[in-house]
Structure 1
Amino acid sequence: MAVYTAAAAVLAGVESRQGSIKGLVYGSRFQNVKQLYALVCETQRYSAVLDAVIASAGLLRAEKKLRPHMAKVLVYELLMGQGFRGGGGRWKAVLARHQARLKAELARLKVQRGVSRNEDLLELGSKSDPATQIPRYVRVNTLKTCADDAVDYFKRQGFSYQGRASSLEDLRTLKGKHFLLDPLLPELLVFPAPTDLHEHPLYQAGHLILQDKASCLPAMLLAPPPGSHVIDACAAPGNKTSHLAALLKNQGKIFAFDLDPKRLASMATLLARAGVSCCELAERDFLAVSPADQRYRQVQYILLDPSCSGSGMPTRQLEDPGADAPCKERLQALAGFQQRALSHALTFPSLQRLVYSTCSLCREENEDVVQAALHSSSGTFRLAPVLPSWPHRGLSTFPGAEHCLRASPETTLTGGFFIAVFERQEVSSSASQTAKVVPQLAPHSAPKRKKKRQKPGAGTSARPCT
């Protein structure tokens, strides 16, 4: 019952603009934040459908003590979820009295809209919103398995593998139980937008990471070779950190910093599940980390993904309907912190390559911060010209801004994102040359079929590739 009470409280907090789903979930006292986050997100995605069913069934009129947000969570679990895995308490018996009517109203809604599945109702209700059409991206965790074996596993579950996508249109038209390999990232699988894999055994075992494509780009573009020392300056919740560890093959060192103890604890759990063994976590402000500290003398790569307004997050409008752009004062405060963090990162003496990224659409947090950092570095660093075929570039606010990358649901079928790659001007090390070359490679081919390979068994036995 506790999970439903917590989910209802988060939904109520979002509606009253107390915060975002993620912020309220992490700020709650509920122990299993991933379970809570998944339940709230899925309930919110089906919000319009649930409102229609609840109203048609007259549930709130019949049960006056049942509050709207609790009703929405419980009806989602009854009709589209796992059938009260969280117990349900006294409301389980209440919902049982209305179960037949609620199911009948859902069936009637499907008939009216000419669809047969719950997911189709979701698609029909969101055609006008590009953010809801973003595919479900799934990064294969190469510390535990490989793309070949993940593809085989899904095929045995009845999914149809369509090979490597050749265009965004291939991703945009995905439906049903079809999936593709992303045309750019070699370990990124792409499923239709409504696909929910939070309960999938490979996800729960850490073999799969549910991560938006744009969020995968920073680690890929940083491209630290195995054996490198890397700083992840603002690391929680940890998806990018686990991606860095996979690129390092757990060989080398990641120094990961974050100030929020709750987020850091959740991150530790995520990294352990993902099989990460090369990461050192620290509850510490990155700005307080001294570049002169001998522990970081070998750090050549830094990933800086600082706190931002989140204005590019695809769930922003779902979490905070009708939200306005961040106010000027908040943007100035965020940009000030971002600029200090970026300028600080560029002072590490052995640094060769740095990726700065945000999930913001605001120039103040993106191009303006990058321009100020370049100016303060006095020519020591430049922007690397990465991914020349990427369709969405930085705003033309200063010479070289075209080397920055932007992402959006409309242009790249991802969440809103910004990325800038800094590299030291006097590039001399072989590691830096490797890092420069990797992001320029042509799209990877689809996984080749191996003639003899032990198949992953039932449950979570997908194995690492050798």
Structure 2
Amino acid sequence: MALYAAAAAVLAGVENRQGSLKGLVYASNFQNVKQLYALVCETQRYSAVLDAVIASAGLLRAEKKLRPHLAKVLVFELLLGKGFRGGGGRWKPLLARHQARLKAELARLKVHRGVSRNEDLLEVGSKLGPASQVPRFVRVNTLKTCPDDVVDYFKRQGFSYQGRASSLEELRALKGKHFALDLLLPELLVFPAQTDLHEHPLYQAGHLILQDKASCLPAMLLAPPPGSHVIDACAAPGNKTSHLAAILKNQGKIFAFDLDAKRLASMATLLARAGVSCCELAEEDFLAVSPSDTRYAQVQYILLDPSCSGSGMLSRQLEEPAAEPPSKERLCALSAFQLRVLRHALSFPALQRLVYSTCSLCQEENEDVVRDALQQSLRPFRLVPILPSWPHRGLDTFPGAEHCLRASPETTLTGGFFVAVIERAEVLSSASLAEVPTPAPVPSPVPKRKRRRKAVASEGT
């Protein structure tokens, strides 16, 4: 089947250093990149185990036309995966001839190493860590539907709704077809880890956005009221942009910039599917955008999520659990760029509120950039204290850094993330600094609306 051939090609490319695993997956032209990525990651994680089983069973000696990388993918599916998807094509009868031998060698390996579970065969660096336990967060796109209608839809599909979660432990304990409402974000549903909704009709229709909880924080904390003019400075792939549009209720204007034409084209497709109509896309370097341009004279809100090391990304933690941290040289180059773009954003004359975020764990890209930008700004800006109950705060590297947020699989059950909210000083009174508005608490369970509900699409259109 094409899936297994594509997975084998990616594994060979990674081994031959032709690119990163994720880059090779997206360059493969395989239609379902999420499915391919998951298969390749898991096969690679068990690579040493699979090599040992294949060698002991003599599979490659018996099937001389079977290439090693393809054999590894097929044996993973047979012994450790979901079985042959779509029937397995011509590979299923080939592997069936060796199935008993392969299973016997896997069992022998467990006995030899004194373990009972497949997971225990892995080396320490390859075992699933906290990143693998992060739930599947699903943001309801309020431009097209509402949370209670989506909840009803899933309940009709046999899912069990647990209401609003009261703790991270409740989210961590979700299993099977149980799901809940997030304890902080009122439009965020939470499913068990590894739940795959890419083929779900509501996702394909743009009613659902598959977006990590930490990635939802920037737009939520920027909180532009409907009618505002907003800049999304480094916008692709577009999840945060679509979230901004939902908060604006498509009323106002989002100026979204990105230099990567391919990513911008994918973003345009995402925004169209999500029903976003208030966004103006530009293939342009945000640093080249003039703050004095009259088109941006009314921009009071900026979301800045610049290029970063990505050291907090869940996909990287799962793909390379023992990866080395970014080099000092790379961090120096990235932080210099991030500081430059943040200072540029703070120079827009009408700016009142800005959110700076990264999916990095590194102080150089986070607290250090925010500290230097505030010190160097010619206008009076200050950090805003936000979400006082959030358990993971900024590193204590300068006064006020505790107002920033950090996120991680261990502390917040999300991807690794950093968020800082910056406001023009004169718009904050001493009282407002003490009580910066935060999102209203979500009632539990989601209340039934008295007005007639919008219809939720049941097909992928």
Fold match by TM threshold 0.5 = yes
Match of 2:36 in 1: 39
CA distance in structure 2 between the partners assigned to 1:207 and 1:124 by the alignment: 40
Match status 1:368 vs 2:365: no
SS at match of 1:138: strand
- Alpha-carbon distance change, 279 to 15 in structure 1, aligned in 2, over 3 angstroms: farther
Q: Is the 8 A contact 1:6 1:36 kept in 2?
A: no
Give 1:228 shift: 1.0
Q: How does 1:48-67 map to 2 (within 5 A)?
A: 48=45, 55=53, 59-67=59-67
CA distance in structure 1 between the partners assigned to 2:127 and 2:165 by the alignment: 22
Match of 2:82 in 1: 80
Give 1:7 shift: 3.8
- Alpha-carbon distance change, 349 to 453 in structure 1, aligned in 2, over 3 angstroms: closer
Give 1:276 shift: 1.1
Q: Is the 8 A contact 1:209 1:239 kept in 2?
A: yes
Give 1:259 shift: 0.9
CA distance in structure 2 between the partners assigned to 1:251 and 1:238 by the alignment: 18
SS at match of 1:318: helix
CA distance in structure 2 between the partners assigned to 1:251 and 1:201 by the alignment: 27
Give 1:302 shift: 0.7
Partner letter of residue 63 of structure 1? E
Q: Is the 8 A contact 2:233 2:305 kept in 1?
A: yes
Partner letter of residue 83 of structure 1? R
CA distance in structure 2 between the partners assigned to 1:445 and 1:46 by the alignment: 41
CA distance in structure 1 between the partners assigned to 2:202 and 2:84 by the alignment: 18
Structure 2: 5+ residue stretches without partners: 111-116
Give 1:163 shift: 0.5
CA distance in structure 2 between the partners assigned to 1:176 and 1:109 by the alignment: 27
Q: Is the 8 A contact 2:14 2:20 kept in 1?
A: yes
CA distance in structure 2 between the partners assigned to 1:351 and 1:454 by the alignment: 36
Match of 1:426 in 2: 426
CA distance in structure 2 between the partners assigned to 1:268 and 1:459 by the alignment: 21
Residue by residue over 1:89-126, the C-alpha shift from the partner in whole angstroms, topping out at 9 and shown as x without a partner, is xxx3234322475599679979x99xxxxxx9779989
Match of 1:442 in 2: 441
Give 1:149 shift: 1.3
Q: Is the 8 A contact 1:10 1:40 kept in 2?
A: no
Q: Is the 8 A contact 1:141 1:206 kept in 2?
A: yes
- Alpha-carbon distance change, 289 to 36 in structure 1, aligned in 2, over 3 angstroms: same
Deviates more, 1:374-383 or 1:358-367: 374-383
Q: Is the 8 A contact 2:252 2:278 kept in 1?
A: yes
Match of 1:218 in 2: 218
Give 1:408 shift: 0.6
CA-atom RMSD, angstroms? 3.3
- Alpha-carbon distance change, 411 to 267 in structure 1, aligned in 2, over 3 angstroms: same
Residue by residue over 1:322-356, the C-alpha shift from the partner in whole angstroms, topping out at 9 and shown as x without a partner, is 31111111111111111101000000111111111
Match status 1:297 vs 2:297: yes
Partner letter of residue 33 of structure 2? L
TM-score, normalised by the number of residues in structure 2: 0.85
- Alpha-carbon distance change, 440 to 251 in structure 1, aligned in 2, over 3 angstroms: closer
SS at match of 2:426: coil
Q: Is the 8 A contact 1:45 1:122 kept in 2?
A: no
Deviates more, 1:259-268 or 1:354-363: 259-268
Give 1:19 shift: 4.6
Match of 1:198 in 2: 198
Match of 2:114 in 1: none
Aligned residues: 441
Partner letter of residue 342 of structure 2? L
Match of 1:357 in 2: 357
Partner letter of residue 368 of structure 2? D
Residue by residue over 1:37-87, the C-alpha shift from the partner in whole angstroms, topping out at 9 and shown as x without a partner, is 4421244146556875783665444434434443455566776278349xx
Match of 2:410 in 1: 410
Give 1:454 shift: 7.1
SS at match of 1:152: helix
Structure 1: 5+ residue stretches without partners: 114-119, 462-466
Match status 1:261 vs 2:261: yes
Match status 1:233 vs 2:219: no
Q: Is the 8 A contact 2:224 2:248 kept in 1?
A: yes
Q: Is the 8 A contact 2:219 2:243 kept in 1?
A: yes
- Alpha-carbon distance change, 84 to 73 in structure 1, aligned in 2, over 3 angstroms: farther
Match of 2:113 in 1: none
Q: How does 1:113-128 map to 2 (within 5 A)?
A: none
Give 1:244 shift: 0.8
CA distance in structure 2 between the partners assigned to 1:332 and 1:238 by the alignment: 27
Match status 1:401 vs 2:388: no
2:94 to 91, 94, 97: 97
Match of 1:387 in 2: 387
Give 1:278 shift: 1.1
SS at match of 2:438: helix
Give 1:23 shift: 3.5
Partner letter of residue 446 of structure 1? P
Give 1:270 shift: 1.1
Match of 1:157 in 2: 157
CA distance in structure 1 between the partners assigned to 2:121 and 2:391 by the alignment: 28
Radius of gyration: which is bigger?
A: 2
Deviates more, 1:411-420 or 1:6-15: 6-15
Q: Is the 8 A contact 1:259 1:285 kept in 2?
A: yes
- Alpha-carbon distance change, 330 to 376 in structure 1, aligned in 2, over 3 angstroms: same
Q: Is the 8 A contact 2:396 2:402 kept in 1?
A: yes
Q: Is the 8 A contact 1:223 1:439 kept in 2?
A: no
CA distance in structure 2 between the partners assigned to 1:244 and 1:13 by the alignment: 38
SS at match of 2:241: helix
SS at match of 1:394: coil
Q: Is the 8 A contact 1:184 1:444 kept in 2?
A: no
SS at match of 2:162: strand
SS at match of 1:426: helix
Match status 1:209 vs 2:213: no
Give 1:226 shift: 1.1
Partner letter of residue 36 of structure 1? V
